[in-house]
A and B are shown apart, each in its own frame.
Chain A
Amino acid sequence: MPWVLVLPAVLGLAFLVLPLAGLLIRAPWSTLGTRLGEPQVLEALRLSLVTSTLATALCLVLGVPLAWVLARTGFPGRGLVRALVTVPLVLPPVVGGVALLLVLGRRGIVGRWLESAFGVSLPFTTAGVVLAEAFVAMPFLVISVEGALRGADPRYEEAAATLGASRWTIFRRVTLPMVAPGIAAGAILCWARALGEFGATITFAGNFPGRTQTMPLAVYLALETDPEAAIVLSLVLLTVSVVILAALRDRWVSTP
């Protein structure tokens, strides 16, 4: 193995893993058990898992078709649309949260109409958490699915078309199965990003235990008064996500 690659690789890994080691070293192991059993912790963890899963589902429903449009159709301004898709990646999440408030809030352009027509108000609700997480996480899904679509051989789709299949049938029976690993990888990235989401969530959905207080929010507030509790909460979040990610990756994403 060439050391010019191995050395930076080892440094890179250390850079990513050492902060985690820092958490492990400072964790209050003796009181870990009692802290983990606290109902607020379980409540925040449950809410985090539910909302990030729902956010991922929402991203799949909207993001896969968006990726398909970007990869398979030619229309003027496609480059601009692709750039716009990545806006939530660049935007500081708190700013994303304010932007969501300005659109979907009580006085927002869409939110005002939602409230008067359906009596639906999104800020300060669990649905609001899902939306905030989906907003921030969707680009991860769209970018990986679009990459997978571009890497897939279009001749299979063309062959299906010559045999008389409609575009929807081709998408369902040929395209989707072909890019399934890419979709799974994108969904996993998207889920992980949603799980860690903080800024947009606290800005758009606020913070209330059991309703909108996800794990990252609980960590942030614990840090104000009780840094040890914050470390415990972070470890819980990390453990759960690492276990789930490791399990899913092996099952869904076959590495060639």
Chain B
Amino acid sequence: MVRHLTAVLAAITLALGAAGCGDTGGDDPADRTLTVFAAASLTETFTELGKTFEKAHPGVRVRFSFGGSSTLAQQIVQGAPVDVFAAASPATMRPVSDERLTADAPRTFARNRLVIAVPPGDPAKIRTLRDLAGRELKVVLCAPQVPCGAAAEKALDVAGVKVTPVSQEQDVKAVLTKVRLGEADAGLVYRTDVRAAGGQVEGVEFPESAEAINDYPIAALAKAPQPGLAGEFVDLVLSAQGRAVLTRAGFESA
């Protein structure tokens, strides 16, 4: 839910930033703004990479809009002035690449796998996916319409486990919140989410997650207001330095 607030704030700052750009013509090398739309699960890593990028390019500001990948994709298709798009799944990148809005073919820069998020100390003693089924447990999953829900469905299918969740949340951070507040006994989230939550939840790894790994694609956009910078930012994310930041957060390198 904090994500929604930040999304709104990001939209506002974005609008202000775009207006500011118009005043200076956008070509002034002393004051340039790079706009990056990125999946919510990239909030921590991309913020860090944005600072690195700003340090390497004096006078350049990197603005992020973090949100649900499909929402961001729709905003891009509807004409939002964006330089770089990083999505949480190939399926959510597709509307953008289908409209030929990417400068080059999207490239996979990271992979994320699911873990079972449980409250600290794992009070319900959950060790495997099978432990989620058939008990008086409150399990929350992502809705099948969003990438983490599709991945959860696949992993449960592979394991042959049938889970009836109490709720199908709108995004992965909402699942995390329910576990964090103790309203749910367990939820399926990405490994990176557990790591970002500090000690407030614990992650239980399970082998079936290997069958439902999410690829994260990134692309500079064809109508990028800052095409040069857009390409350089994509290069940074794909570089050894970028991968190091992503790996530290729990992503697997692509």
Contact = CB atoms under 8 A, between A and B. Distances in A.
Interface in B38-78: 68, 70-71, 74
A104 to B, nearest CB: 10
A124 B182 CA distance: 13
B181 A224 contact: no
Nearest to A206: B167
B169 interface: yes
A209 B141 CA distance: 13
A179 B143 CA distance: 45
A49 B24 CA distance: 52
Contacts of B143: 207, 221, 224
Of listed A98, A208, A224, residue having the most chain B CB within 10 A: A224
B195 interface: no
Given A124-B138, A222-B145, A107 B182 contact: yes
Interface string B196-240: 000000000000000000000000000000000000000000000
A217 B171 CA distance: 12
B30 interface: no
A82 interface: no
A205 B169 CA distance: 10
A77 B209 CA distance: 57
- Which of under 10, 10 to 19, 20 to 34, or 35 or more describes the interface residues of A? 20 to 34
Contact of A206 (B71, B145, B178): B178
A92 B9 CA distance: 13
B183 A202 contact: no
B96 interface: no
A182 interface: no
A207 B182 contact: no
Contacts of A202: 169-170, 174
A144 interface: no
B70 A101 contact: no
A102 B4 CA distance: 19
A224 B167 contact: no
Contacts of A124: 138, 166-167, 183
In this complex, the member of A94, A107, A202, A207 whose beta carbon has the largest number of chain B beta carbons within 10 angstroms is: A207
A55 B117 CA distance: 33
A207 B1 contact: no
Interface string B1-43: 1001100000000000000000000000000000000000000
Interface in A189-239: 199, 202-203, 205-209, 212-213, 217, 220-225, 227
A107 B179 CA distance: 11
Interface string B119-146: 0000000000000000000101001011
Contacts of B174: 202-203
B181 A101 contact: yes
Interface of A: 92, 94-95, 97-98, 101-102, 105-107, 123-124, 199, 202-203, 205-209, 212-213, 217, 220-225, 227
14 contacts: A94-B5, A106-B182, A124-B183, A199-B4, A202-B170, A206-B167, A208-B168, A221-B143, A221-B168, A224-B70, A224-B71, A224-B143, A224-B145, A225-B70
Interface of B: 1, 4-5, 68, 70-71, 74, 138, 140, 143, 145-146, 165-170, 174, 177-178, 181-183
By Cβ-Cβ distance, the 7 closest A-B pairs, closest first, are A206-B167, A124-B166, A224-B145, A94-B1, A107-B182, A225-B145, A224-B70
